[in-house]
Structure formats: structure tokens, C-alpha cells
Amino acid sequence: MGKSKAGSEGTVRLERRGAIAWVTIANPPVNALSQAVRAGLAACVEAAIADPDVSLVAIRGDGRNFVAGGDISEFDAPLQPPDMNDVLATIEGSEKPVIACMHGNALGGGLELALACHFRIATPDTRLGLPEVTLGLIPGAGGTRRLPRVVGAEAALRMILDAAPIAAAKAFDIGLIDAVAVDGHEPVCERLAATIDKTTLAERRVGTRALTEVQQAQVAAAIAQARQSVRERWPWSGARRAAIDAVERGLDGSLADALVQERANFDACRVSGEGRALMHMFFAERAATRLPDGDATTQGLSIGTVGVVGAGTMGRGIALAIAGAGVPVQVFESDTGRRDAAHVAIADHFKGQTERGRMNPDAAQAVMSRIVFVDTIAGLASSDLVIEAAFESLPVKLEIFAALDAVVGPDTILATNTSTLDVDAIARATCRPDRVLGLHFFSPANVMRLLEIIRAPGTGAATLRAAAEFARRIGKTGVIVGNAFGFVANRMIFEYQRQGEFLVEEGATPDAVDRALVGFGMPMGPFAMADMAGLDVAWWLRKEVPAMRRADRRQSRLADLLCERGWFGQKTGQGWFRYEPGGRKALPSPETDAVVAAERIRIGIKPRAIAEQEILDRCLFALVNEAARILEAGLAARPGDIDVIYVHGFGFPRWRGGPLKWADDVGVGHVHDVLRDWAARGEAWLEPAPLLARMAREGVGFAQLERKGWIGS
């Protein structure tokens, strides 16, 4: 048998070598199980089974993966034939052994494909899992039926609910795979081809296999434990509850009935609010670093070594993030005291990581060895990228960039970690504005995934492309945004926090505001977040940056009054809340309550009871309103970019899809009307943005803006 193709674009290949038929899925980059792949897989497997000279069928993936899942772009509509369950029935019912030869990622539908095979082997680098619940879905091709029969209900439910892939060694330990193919797939397949008989084959059909007595005894406890875990860890997750129901139904009865129930649960999740929100985020994250049409790169830039200017909290965090990703980093700090403190802090960080079992000592030493301190700024001359993480002062940054421009190579990219300052003004301190941009890391930089990539007017497309690839390389979620005060993330959060302070002036407590937002799904409220970041940071901005205040609009003095007393939050033990020495738990503060009460008297406000819904409306709708202004100004290319920023930068609940997906679900018209009513009561900050008013008037949601061309118009 020579090579043959199946599928509309040759997405599956069939080749016989000796008695083994090799079925290769070739649908890069992840070999997703698209309609063409399903059709090609069915055709090739059927041809191999029918070939009298074939004694074993081996299914593998081309490129870096086995199969990393289904084709998510097809999930918005009923799936087209062939149904994956029909393809898997052909594989499982084959009278010739079928072996899954896995490498790279074997996830979702890829693992379900492997479970329908009679044998499963994997190279040591393989990651196996059923992560569908991260998309608000459940396994839809027999995973909830077959996996419990292979590894037991408890281990299966843990894999499905946690959604975290496991390594090949762990998969072997729990019986998910039959061998770790250290020397590759071929030797194992040749050995199996010579030893398998039909009796063995019948026992390997997982879908129709009965549970062992041990597995039966564990079922009730495993189901109860899983339901309790979802109540405690993921109370919002309808997908996880549906997955448990499908597993429970699949433990008894026929395979056909189990598959019908699983598919019904899958389809219900697919059209649920949770499912649509999580799939929205999946696609939004992948679009966030996409450059506009016509912004082609004409020159490639590669980043091999990185320099960091500044060894304070942010500089250290940036260095740790970069070194942790395997990239060498050089750090320059002009202040001897800060440099010495940085050495100690970095050593303490790795000591803590090893003591808590998060890193072994050798790995910690390897990462630490990639961080090298240099004595002069000229020591960064060989860097491909230099990130400035100095004090938030424009004169300071201008001086640093002028000095860097004089010592680094002509293609070196210079980036500022500023959170508010004008990147274009910083670029003008150099002779390379096309190689200057902002890389706004979020604190702590070695933990937070979000990275705002700020495009100044002169930033070149090649520079942006290199920065986006660098973000991916160091494990960050990069989002390209425009250059304006506060960029996107901070510009929006200022309005969110402003409304929180107004609500406290009017009668709410900081704790009541925070509880309302945490109940909505935020990891913490605006006041606990401000205390954690340090109230002095925003205080400095309010004093130095005119854009933070407008004389024609209401301002709150509450945060300033706290700062004037030296109450900066957690680091001083007192802010909006009180903190015990060394503690981080926010406790009620009678001292802050007294400051608030005095300020209410001064400005003539009689406190009133404020309902939770008003707290949510004013804080969250303020976010949405400012986002509309940002889109209108062209500072974000897509509404989804803003959703990505808020999910990854501030913990907006992913299962709600980010603030703009959530606003579409609530109804843009409703958001507009509530804001308009508050503005009519004198709250000028809540005046609906012109774009929001236009959207409400014409019945357009944020999801439609890009198609209509209203962004930046």
C-alpha cells in the first residue's frame, strides 16, 4: 500500500510499512479534529482495517502534537458529519488492534480518540487531559464514559474537573497509557503487532467494558466528593456540574445511552452563557496581539538577551519572569542599596520556592544563574531588548532612554514599564522611535500574566511583532494598546475606583463595596486592591498628573486624606482597612470610618443605605463606559482586547467573558439607560460615552463593533 490521502486538504495520511498501517493526522498547528480530519480519519482507518496485509493500525499526529482537541471554530453550530462518536465506534469495534501513538499534546478530543483505541502509548513529553470545562463545555466524544473505565471514577473526575493536563509518567502510573515510548513509537508498535490476539483485543474495548468491583465500590464516594469540590471551588461552573452528571450516567447502562446523555449535556453547555463567555475569551486571547491589516513586518527582530534598568519591586519581578522562561537577563541598578536589596530579595524568592516544594534546588539555581547584575548602563549594550523599570517620573525615564540609546545596538528594542506616562515623549529622547514601545507588566510581574504592549505613534510593526512573540515566550498574555494616559487597564480602573469612593462618601462602607464586587466574581474589591497596591502610588499620580482630576467634576478627597496620615494600605498596616502586623487580612478600621464620617459632614452628605445592585451598577457600568471611550479613541483594536486585559489584569470573572462580553449579555441599552439616569442626577462622570449612546440608539452590541468599523471612528 502506497501513501494515500483523505479529507478535503489531505489532513490525514495513510501509509503501510510492513504489517502496520500508519494513520497520520496532519492539521497544523494542533491537529484539531475538524470536519475534514474526522472524515479523513474515518476513511483511512476503514481502509487500513479492510487491508488483509495489515495486522495493526497506528494513529499518530504530525508536527508537535498528537491531537490537541476539537476544532473550536465549529462549536457555534451543530457539528457536521461524520460525528466523532461514529468515527470512534469504528476504531473501537475494529477486529484489528488500533494503537494511539501520542506525543506533544493529547487533549480533549485527542485523548477521547486515544481512549477509543485498544492501546495507548506516549512519548515522555506528552501531556494528556480533558480540559473542556475551561471552555464551559464537557467532553463530547465519550470521554465521560471511557476515562472512568480506564483510571477509575475518582481519578477521571479529578482530571475532568481540574482540567490540568498530566504528564506521560503520571498517565502510566494511573493506567491511562500502556507504555511510555522512550525510544519512540515504532518499537512498541512492532512488539504489539507480534503479540496481540483477538481475546486480548476484546478486553481492550473500553466503551463496553464493565467496571471492576473496586471501581464500583468507589463510584458513590467519588461522585459525592466531586460535587462537593465544585460547590467549594467552582460554584459558578455549570459545565463541571454537567460533567459530573454525564460521568454518573455513563457508569451504568449501555454505551449508546451514555453517549446520548453526554452529547445532550455538551450541547446544553455549548449554548449556555458560561460556554459562550469562555469561548469568547479563548478567541479574544488569540486575537489580542494581532496587528492591523496592512501592518506587515518587513524586518525580523529576534530577542535573545534582555536587559532591565531598575532593581526595585517591578524590576526584580520582570527579571524573575524573564529568567524563569529560560531567557538570560542583565540588570542595572545605579543605587547600591537597592542593588544589594535586590540580590537578597531574589535569593529569598528562590529559597521560598524550594522550601515550599515549588522548585527543586537545581532548577532554582539554574534560573537564578540567568540573572546577572551589571555595574554600568553600558553593561546592557549587547541586549536585544532593554526594559526600563525605574521610578514613574518622566524626567528620570528620559534620561535613562537617552543613555540607553547611546550604548545599545541600532536594532535593540527599548521598552518602558510605565503605567501612565507618554511613551511617545519617551521615544523622542532616542534616535530610534521605531524601536521604542511600552511593556506594562502588572505587579507582581513574575506572577501576573497580563502584559500591555503600548504602541506609540512611531513604533514599528517589526518591533510590535517581536514584543508580541516575546510576551508569548515568557508566558504572558500580551495585548497591543494605544498610547494615552493610563493606556487601557489603568484608565478604566480609575473610573471603577472613583465610583467606589463616591459610594463610600454617600453611605456605603469599604467592606460593603468590596463584598458586592467579590460576590459578583471579582477576586477582591476596589478597596482591598488599592490597599494591596499601596495608596501612595495613586496619590502621587493625583498630585502630579492633571488628567487624574477635572475641576468641573466631582472629586473625592477620601484617599488623599488617608495618605496624608501616612496610611498607605497593607505596607503600613492601615489604609481603607486595618491590618495586623505581618498580616494581609483586611479588617474593619474605626480610624478610617472616622475620617469618612468627618468628610461627609464637611461636604454636606447625609449617609444613606445603598443596595448591592447600585454598587454593582455604578462600579461595573463605569468600567464599560470608559471602555467605550477607549474604543472610540482607537486605543484598543477590539472589544475582546479589553476583556482580556480585565480578566488577566484585574481578575474580572473569566466565566462572564470580561466586562464588554458581560455588558452585551446584560444589554448595552440597559447599561446606557442606567448611566444616563445617574448622569441626570448630577453624576457627570457617568455621562454615557458617545459611542455607547450610538450603540444603544442603533441596538448594536460590543461584539458587532469591529465588523461595523465603529472602533476609532
Give the H or E element holding residue 639.
helix 639-650
Task: Catalytic residue, from 9, 92, 112, 505: name it.
Answer: 112
Q: Is 2 exposed, middle or buried (0-12, 13-18, 19+ CB in 10 A)?
A: exposed
Given a cut of 60, whether residue 14 has pLDDT beyond it is yes
Query: Residue 10 has what pLDDT?
Result: 67
Residue 206 clears pLDDT 80, i.e. is over it = yes
* Average per-residue pLDDT for the chain: 92
Average pLDDT on 518-539 reads 94
| pTM to 2 decimal places | 0.91
Q: What three-state secondary structure class fits 527?
A: helix
pLDDT at 39: 95
Residue 107 in this model has a pLDDT that exceeds 50: yes
The Cα 136–Cα 132 span in angstroms is 7
Residue corresponding to grid cell 449508546? 256
Structure-model confidence comparison of residues 291 and 693, the more confident one: 693
If you ran DSSP here, which 8-state letter would residue 294 be given? T
* Cell numbers standing for residue 526: 476596589
The pLDDT assigned to 299 comes to 55
- Listed range (193-202, 264-273, 283-292, 341-350) with the worst mean pLDDT: 193-202
- In percent, how much of the chain has pLDDT > 70? 97
Write phi, then psi, for 99 (nearest 5 degrees): -120, 135
Taking 50 as the threshold, does the pLDDT of residue 298 lie above it?
A: no
Q: What is the pLDDT of residue 292?
A: 64
What's the pLDDT at 326?
94
What pLDDT score was predicted for residue 607? 96
Task: Give whole-number Cα distances, 142 to 149, 300, 412, 703, in Å.
Answer: 11, 45, 51, 33
For the chain, what's the residue count? 713
Stretch 629-640: mean pLDDT, rounded? 96
Give the model's pLDDT for residue 411: 92
Query: Above 50 in pLDDT, residue 1?
Result: no
CB neighbour burial string for 425-437, b if at least 16 within 10 angstroms, e if fewer: ebbbbbebbbbbb
Q: What is the CA radius of gyration of the chain?
A: 28
Note the pLDDT tens digit of each residue in 585-610.
999 999 999 999 999 999 999 999 99
604-640 exposure pattern, b = at least 16 Cβ within 10 A, e = fewer: eeeeeebeeebbebbbbbbbbbbbbbbbbeebbbbbb
Where do the domains of the chain lie, and which CATH numbers do they carry? 4-253 (3.90.226.10), 306-483 (3.40.50.720), 505-607 (1.10.1040.10)
Q: Dump pLDDT digits (tens) for 326-353.
A: 999 999 999 989 999 999 999 999 999 9
The pLDDT confidence band at residue 153, using thresholds 50, 70 and 90, is very high
Q: State yes or no: pLDDT of 354 exceeds 50.
A: yes
Model confidence at 78, pLDDT cuts 50, 70, 90, reads confident
pLDDT surpassing 90 at residue 626? yes
pLDDT band at 76 (very low <50, low <70, confident <90, very high): confident
pLDDT of 152 > 80? The answer is yes
Provide the pLDDT for residue 79.
76
186 is a catalytic site residue: no
- What single letter denotes the amino acid at residue 494? F
Contact (Cβ atoms closer than 8 angstroms) between residue 526 and residue 514: yes
Over range 376-384, report the average pLDDT: 95
pLDDT at 293 (0 to 100) = 57
**CA-angle at 228, arms to 223 and 229, nearest 5°:** 95
Q: Reduce the secondary structure of 115-182 to three states and give it as a string.
A: HHCCEEEECCCCEEECCHHHHCCCCCCCHHHHHHHHHCHHHHHHHHHHCCCEEHHHHHHCCCCCEECC
Q: H-helix or E-strand containing 425?
A: helix 423-427
pLDDT of residue 8: 40
What is the per-residue pLDDT for 7?
41
The predicted model gives 236-257 an average pLDDT of 94
Query: What per-residue confidence (pLDDT) applies to 420?
Result: 87
pLDDT value of residue 155: 96
Cα distances (angstroms) measured from residue 674 to each of 421, 671, 677, 705: 33, 5, 5, 21
Active site residue 112: yes
Q: Does residue 297 have a pLDDT over 70?
A: no
Report how far residue 184's alpha carbon sits from residue 593's, in angstroms, rounded to the nearest whole number.
67
Could you read off the pLDDT of 546-577 as tens digits, one per residue?
Answer: 777 787 889 999 999 999 999 999 999 999 99
C-alpha 154 chain-centroid distance: 27
Task: Select which of 46, 92, 95, 132 is catalytic.
Answer: 132
